[in-house]
Amino acid sequence: MIAIPSDESLTNDLFQEIKRGLQVQDSFSQMREAASARLAHIAREAKTEAAGKIIGVIPQQEYMELAAKYGVECWDDRQFVRGFFNNEPDLRSSRI
């Protein structure tokens, strides 16, 4: 005969799985932010021949989430970009 787990057991297992998933997501987020901060630090020293200057590094996930929420045009708004880098100073490579 097959033992059927109790509702409490299933609930506990579900909570543990959700907790593990959140920990993995948190870990990836921390790694992305650390990598972006390293790139921003490198960009502080970079010289470019492009029309503009490097002002910072935006992790792809954050870029896409904010573009989905506010529209991709938000990144053309100087005040929006300034606000983003004020909230995430480790990602800034120079003053805007």
pLDDT for position 68: 94
pLDDT for position 45: 66
Residue 3 falls inside a structural domain: no
pLDDT for position 36: 77
Q: Which of 96, 82, 90 is nearest to 40 (CA)?
A: 90
User: Which residues are within 8 A (CB) of 4 and not within 5 positions of it... i.e. 6 or more apart?
Assistant: none
Q: CA-based diameter of the chain, in Å?
A: 73
pLDDT for position 49: 59
pLDDT for position 33: 80
Residue 96 falls inside a structural domain: no
Residue 76 falls inside a structural domain: yes
Residues of the chain with pLDDT below 50 are: 96
Q: Which domain holds residue 41?
A: 8-91
Number of domains in the chain: 1
DSSP state of 51: S
Residue 18 falls inside a structural domain: yes
Is the pTM here over 0.75, yes or no? no
Residue 79 falls inside a structural domain: yes
**In this structure, how many other beta carbons lie within 10 angstroms of the beta carbon of residue 61?**
12
Residue 54 — φ and ψ, nearest 5°?
-75, 125
